[in-house]
Amino acid sequence: MARKPARAPTNGRRPNDDIGEEMRLKLYHSQFRLRQAEQRAYDLFLQNLVKGTSHLSLGQEAIAAGFGCAMKKGDHTFCTYRGHAHTLARGVPVEKVLGELMQRDNGLMRGKGGSMHLTSAEHGVMGSYAIIGAHLPIACGAALRAQYKGDKDVTVCFFGDGTTNIGAFHEALNFAAIWKLPVVFVCENNHYMEYTPIGDITAVPSPAGDRASAYGLAKIVIDGNDADEVYRTAQAAFARARAGDGPSLIECLTYRHSGHSRADPGAYRPKGELERWKKDKDPINIYRERMTQFGIAQDQIDNIEAEVNEEVEKATEACKAAPNPPMDILFTDVYADGGWAWRN
């Protein structure tokens, strides 16, 4: 008869376990929440309730969850147009994100930003950037502000593998290294830069990791579908940044389950590749099994999933019932004072 896994000690930490039950439950909650929210965004798109295109992170949840759980209040997130997961991982309500995608008045920016421009300064989400690589120098600016003022917040900048061939990537890395800025650069290497395999147009096997030494940084390449490994790596990088030891460049190997955008069927992928990643490297399945191995009870896992499903359902219904933005906000928030009139 198979033995049931032992329950974790009352302090939530098993021998030689540096993460503990409480954080594992938090990591799983975040990953499952990101998966369900983005799957719902996909469903709403098919119902023609999400206008325009959207870029999903299905299959990449462990990266956003791992870094999100390691970050502290006051830390800053900069992400790309594939930013739904990173926005949610900082605690933004699902209703606010879905509402923004659906261009409803209850959205994060009252429907004026849409899928590719999610921003919530309240939660430390300093924007989603649609121009490839544009946010890396801006992230350096945020980190320079912290250094100059003596603050201890860390800036985390997420980008895709294709960004490593953009000039702004190299300029930002060089600047951050020279000034020893408290910024962590995170490459989400999902193996495809839009529709092209990254290996076809990059001179090195690891597009981010193999460039690190050019800026005096350590090569860090990790399994981006293992939330524990992501979390541990993030903690180490944040400690380095807060201590004044400068930036880190982390390459997280992952795989997106959907196409580049909702207009992309992903037909360029080799036959069977997607199925193999879903079967062997799905971060949700990996972590669910991990929790069982560490003695976390099935009812705790079930409760997390039920709680998340209820949140997503309530958010969906609230967004469907929400009105469109009123016309009188069309010209607001153009300038920093909230207005639109040009002033010399």
- What CA–CA distance (Å, rounded) separates 301 from 308? 11
pLDDT at 167: 97
- What CA–CA distance (Å, rounded) separates 256 from 85? 12
- What CA–CA distance (Å, rounded) separates 27 from 25? 5
- What CA–CA distance (Å, rounded) separates 287 from 292? 9
pLDDT at 12: 55
- What CA–CA distance (Å, rounded) separates 11 from 288? 21
As given in the structure block, the two tokens for residue 302 are 């079930």
Which three-class secondary structure string do you get for the chain?
CCCCCCCCCCCCCCCCCCCCHHHHHHHHHHHHHHHHHHHHHHHHHHCCCCCCCCCCCCCCHHHHHHHHHHCCCCCEEEEECCCHHHHHHCCCCHHHHHHHHCCCCCCCCCCCCCHHHCCEHHHCEEEEECCCCCHHHHHHHHHHHHHHHCCCCCEEEEEEHHHHHCHHHHHHHHHHHHHCCCEEEEEEECCEECCEEHHHCCCCCCCCHHHHHHHCCCCEEEECCCHHHHHHHHHHHHHHHHCCCCCEEEEEECCCCCCCCCCCCCCCCCCCHHHHHHHHCCHHHHHHHHHHHCCCCHHHHHHHHHHHHHHHHHHHHHHHHCCCCCHHHCCCCCCCCCCCCCCC
292 burial level (CB within 10 Å; 0-12, 13-18, 19+): middle
- What CA–CA distance (Å, rounded) separates 281 from 224? 10
Distances (CA, A) of 289 to 40, 67, 282, 324: 24, 20, 11, 42
Cα Dmax for the chain: 80
pLDDT in tens, the chain (344 residues): 333 333 444 445 565 578 999 999 999 999 999 999 999 999 999 999 998 888 999 999 999 999 999 999 999 999 999 999 999 999 999 999 999 999 999 999 999 999 999 999 999 999 999 999 999 999 999 999 999 999 999 999 999 999 999 999 999 999 999 999 999 999 999 999 989 999 999 999 999 999 999 999 999 999 999 999 999 999 999 999 999 999 999 999 999 998 888 778 888 999 999 999 999 999 999 999 999 999 999 999 999 999 999 999 999 999 999 999 999 998 888 888 888 888 76
Exposure pattern of 138-167 as b/e (b: 16+ CB <10 Å)? bbbebbbebbeeeeebbbbbbbbbbbbbbe
Tell me the angle at which helices 283-293 and 21-46 cross, rounded to the nearest 10 degrees. Answer: 150
Q: What is the pTM of this model?
A: 0.93
As given in the structure block, the two tokens for residue 178 are 């020279």
124 burial level (CB within 10 Å; 0-12, 13-18, 19+): buried
pLDDT at 1: 38
